Amino acid sequence: MENTHITNSSTGTSAIELSGIRKTFTLSEDKNAQQVLALDGIDLSINQGEFLTIIGPSGCGKTTLLRIMASLILPDEGRVIVEGEAVSEPDIKRAMVFQTFGLFPWKTVLDNVVFPLIVRKYPAQQTREIAIQHIKQVGLEKFQNAYPHQLSGGMQQRVGLARALSTGADILLMDEPFGAIDAQTRELMQEELMRICQEEQKTVVFITHDLNEAVMLADRVLLMSRGPGQVREIISVNLPRPRTEYDVRAHQEFVRVRGHLWRELRNDLIEQRTEEMV
Ligand SMILES: Nc1ncnc2c1ncn2[C@@H]1O[C@H](COP(=O)(O)OP(=O)(O)O)[C@@H](O)[C@H]1O
Ligand SMILES: [Mg+2]
């Protein structure tokens, strides 16, 4: 074979690579309409198997960035490379999980999980098996015939997670997925997500506005600066895994990273308030 550049996961192809991402929204059809610069030159490389959390003030462009990573929207400028290939449309390597769960209320748990597999034209007998396997993985085997309204918020988000996992996506793109779940259930969901992602070597990009959650889950935390959205800082979290086996919050690394992020975010919020007042 020619001695060309050979890249694969073991030689370090990124799961997602963003370069020079810019995105502007226009607020109406009017040609004098106001423009909002949502992302202003994002460069970012996410490793395979990495857990990256994103934190930043409301409106700083987190959701826009995640939707661009999913190719649900296209940037005005810049490139999105997934596992070495430029992309411009959604594909099965990437699955989104939303805060509002995104379940069909008229479908059972099983049918909700089966749905994306049918859309992707998996063979019919396989879809059921795959769906049931992932419903078990998130601990909902007894509820496969229940409807979403019969489940708690935490259980509904487990269905959302099972659905994302069942597509076989290597990359999970999660937009404040536990934001609507009570605090204790949320901790259980965090543990479960960490376990599943470690077992299956998923790459995860996870938006949260909860500092503890951002540090607890992450290999690295991306801190965005408030609009126009830019990468302010990326911080590595050097906490051993599995993190369920000790009190992470008491670890000095947790306290260090959390303290640092809090000071940065606090400054941003104070500046924002001051500008709003003048
Ligand atoms: N579809 C859209 N149309 C117009 N403006 C938008 C749209 N989506 C987002 N924006 C604007 O872009 C900025 C970033 O939004 P978003 O990515 O939702 O931020 P975050 O998720 O960090 O709160 C905000 O000013 C928001 O109002
Ligand atoms: Mg958002």
Tell me, using a 6 A CB cutoff, whether residue 208 lines ligand 1: no
Is the pTM higher than 0.95? The answer reads no
Write down which residue in 142, 168, 194 finishes a domain: 168
Judgement on whether residues 159 and 71 belong to the same structural domain of the protein: no
| Residue at which a domain ends, from 152, 168, 184 | 168
Q: Are strands 171-175 and 94-98 parallel, antiparallel or unpaired?
A: parallel
pLDDT of residue 278: 67
Q: How far is the CA of 68 from the centre of ligand 1 (A)?
A: 12
Q: Candidates 22, 30, 39, 63: which one to mutate for ligand 1, based on the most atoms within 8 Å of Cβ? A: 63
Q: Of ligand 1's atoms, which has the minimum distance to the CA of residue 57?
A: 22
Residues 130, 210, single domain; the answer is no
- Asked if residue 65 and residue 136 are part of one domain, the reply reads no
Residues 117 and 140 in one domain: yes
* Same domain? 235 vs 252: yes
Q: Report how many domains make up the chain.
A: 2
Report if residue 248 sits inside a domain. Answer: yes
Domain assignment present for residue 7? The answer is: no
Of 149, 135, 42, whose CA–CA distance to 101 is shortest?
149
Residue written as tokens 């996961």?
9
Q: Does 213 share its domain with 182?
A: yes
Per the CB < 8 A criterion, the answer to whether 171 and 16 are in contact is: yes
Q: 188 and 74, same structural domain? A: yes
Residues 102 and 85 in one domain: no
Ligand nearest to the Cα of 229, by number: 1
- 126 and 257 both lie in a single domain: no
pLDDT band at 118 (very low <50, low <70, confident <90, very high): confident
pLDDT at residue 207 tops 50? yes
Question: Does residue 120 lie within any of the structural domains?
Answer: yes
> Of 168, 192, 216, which marks where a domain is finished?
168
Atom from ligand 1 closest to the CA of residue 26: 4
Q: Among 21, 25, 222, which residue has the most ligand 1 atoms within 8 Å of its CB, making it the best to mutate?
A: 25
DSSP state of 41: E
- Residue 59 CB–ligand 1 contact under 6 Å: yes
Contact 47, 14 (CB under 8 A): yes
Smallest CA separation from ligand 1 atom 20, residue:
59
Ligand closest in space to the Cα of 227:
1
47-77: per-residue pLDDT in tens? 999 999 999 999 999 999 999 999 999 999 9
Q: Do 256 and 194 sit in the same domain of this protein? A: yes
Which residue has the CA at smallest separation from atom 9 of ligand 1? Answer: 64
CA dihedral over 191, 194, 197, 198, signed as positive or negative: negative
Q: 32: domain CATH number?
A: 3.40.50.300
Q: How many CB atoms neighbour CB 153 within 10 A?
A: 16
Whether 122 is in a domain gets the answer yes
Same domain, 49 and 118: no
pLDDT value, residue 276: 77
| 69 pocket-lining for ligand 1 (C-beta < 6 Å) | no
Q: What would the mean pLDDT of 208-234 be, rounded to a whole number?
A: 94
By residue range, what is the domain housing residue 84? 13-93+170-273
